[in-house]
């Protein structure tokens, strides 16, 4: 459940939402310094984005280190899920803190629900996330509750976008939430939902600024329950 009294601690919960460690992978970083790799990587990344309709996926070209880290994450996720889970947990202890428990005070059918995603969801026309930042982009995007799913774009380096390209509701389940509201399973869909781009090695700004701001906006919107959809 969403706890309005815990607005200042909201970032502690969001840290569990798609944060990856800044692991230095020497072999990839060394390869990335090669001019030929740099050129080939840029062409391959552009071609991949073009095939999936992801032009303007970043506000600037991602750094070589970020690209290398993303390649490692994707390779592990596809080929060794257990090792990927272990790797993703390595740096989380540095930021882990007790999460304030919020007891449900309403029936689900009386709850207004908001979505919070770390999948890099943006809408067509919104500013892409700054994937070039070495410490990650701690900003967020507001997704209106009546957003059309054909306007969804992805601005994220650290997961395979294939399923989300085919069905954006996998990462931003607004259509499902609307159906639940229509059947009375939940009371209503919040007017605003929120998106981060995960892969944030340094989440201090997220904890101190972004998460409390989102919590305040949820209070304004009368949100009772927040559903997290991590990438």
In order, the DSSP letters of 188-204 are EE-SEEEE-B---S--H
Range of the domain at 120: 1-231
pLDDT at residue 58, rounded to an integer:
60
pTM of the model: 0.69
Query: Which residues are CB-neighbours of 160 under 8 A, at least 6 positions away?
Result: 74, 77, 78
Instruction: Look over the chain and give the mean of its residue pLDDT values, rounded to a whole number.
Output: 74
The pair of structure tokens assigned to 204 is 């201090």
Say if CB 157 and CB 67 are below 8 A apart.
yes
Residue 218 pLDDT exceeds 60: yes
Residue 193 pLDDT exceeds 80: yes
CA gap 123, 142 in Å, rounded: 9
- How many structural domains does the chain have? 1
Q: Where are the alpha helices (DSSP H) in the chain?
A: 10-14, 26-32, 35-51, 64-79, 81-89, 162-166, 174-182, 204-205, 211-221
Q: How far is CA 70 from CA 63, 178, 182, in A?
A: 11, 33, 39
Element (H, E) at 119: none
Q: Is 46 helix (H, G, I), strand (E, B) or coil?
A: helix
At 49-103, the pLDDT tens digits run 444 444 335 656 666 777 777 778 778 778 888 887 777 777 666 666 777 777 8
């Amino acid at each position: 459940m969403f706890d309005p009294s815990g607005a200042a601690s909201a970032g502690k919960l969001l840290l569990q939402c798609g944060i990856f460690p800044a692991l230095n992978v020497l072999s990839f970083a060394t390869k990335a310094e090669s001019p030929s790799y740099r050129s080939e990587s840029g062409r391959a990344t552009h071609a991949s984005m073009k095939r999936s309709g992801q032009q303007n996926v970043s506000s600037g070209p991602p750094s070589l280190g970020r690209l290398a880290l993303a390649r490692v994450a994707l390779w592990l996720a596809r080929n060794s899920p257990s090792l990927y889970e272990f790797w993703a947990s390595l740096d989380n202890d540095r930021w882990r803190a007790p999460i304030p428990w919020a007891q449900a005070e309403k029936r689900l059918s009386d709850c207004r629900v908001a979505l919070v995603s770390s999948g890099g969801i943006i809408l067509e026309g919104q500013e892409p996330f700054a994937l070039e930042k070495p410490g990650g982009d701690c900003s967020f995007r507001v997704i209106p509750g009546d957003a059309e799913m054909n306007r969804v774009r992805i601005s994220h380096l650290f997961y395979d976008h294939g399923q989300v390209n085919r069905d954006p509701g996998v990462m931003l389940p607004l259509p499902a939430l609307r159906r639940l509201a229509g059947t009375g399973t939940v009371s209503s869909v919040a007017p605003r939902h929120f998106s981060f781009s995960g892969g944030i090695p340094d989440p201090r700004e997220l904890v101190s600024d972004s998460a409390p701001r989102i919590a305040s906006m949820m209070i304004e919107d009368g949100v009772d329950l927040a559903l997290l959809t991590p990438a």
